[in-house]
Structure 1
Amino acid sequence: MSERQNVFTIKTNQLSDEVYNKLATYAKSRKLGDYISSLILRDLDDSSTERKAIEDTKTYEMFEHIKNELADLKALAKTTGFVGNDSFKEEEPSKVPN
């Protein structure tokens, strides 16, 4: 990565002495940029993980909804005589022919 000009100035009255001293230590060792970058990358990774977990939950809920709707349709088909009772034998997903 190429050298960049200093374009950020952080001004806040809410830094504790402990936090300020830690940042000052990194700044004096010329590693503040790397430290901040690592924190931001960690945050980005965490938010990506959270987003995936939310998507996984939504996908699971959608499959559950579809499963329930299919069960309702099967029950309706059986009660209306639309198909024979043996038409809806449960099969393992791996045993269903393609």
Structure 2
Amino acid sequence: MDATSANVDVPDFLSSLTGDIKGLKIAVPKEYLGEGVGEEAKESVLQALKVLEGLGASWEEVSLPHSKYALATYYLLSSSEASANLARFDGIRYGYRTDNADNLIDL
């Protein structure tokens, strides 16, 4: 368990399915079931796919070739978002100010 996990009962999602899923085609990105994915998570997904197949759906493995950039993109965006959000605490808008500042210290 970590800060992103919760120890709660998992709802019965299967009982929430309504309507007919016969003929539904499910795309499963192979990058999300490969290296770095825990065996327990992978097995859970594969079990769910078997259940959905039994209900008439089919699934196909597809490739999302740009997935390899997801983590780097996340780091870039989250850092930018944090910087923008915390800019309000930069101290420039509060306190003594002068129009004749030569540098940030004199400001």
TM-score (normalised: structure 1): 0.37
Structure with greater strand percent: 2
Higher relative contact order (CA 8 A, sep 6+): 2
Structure with greater helix percent: 1
TM-score (normalised: structure 2): 0.35
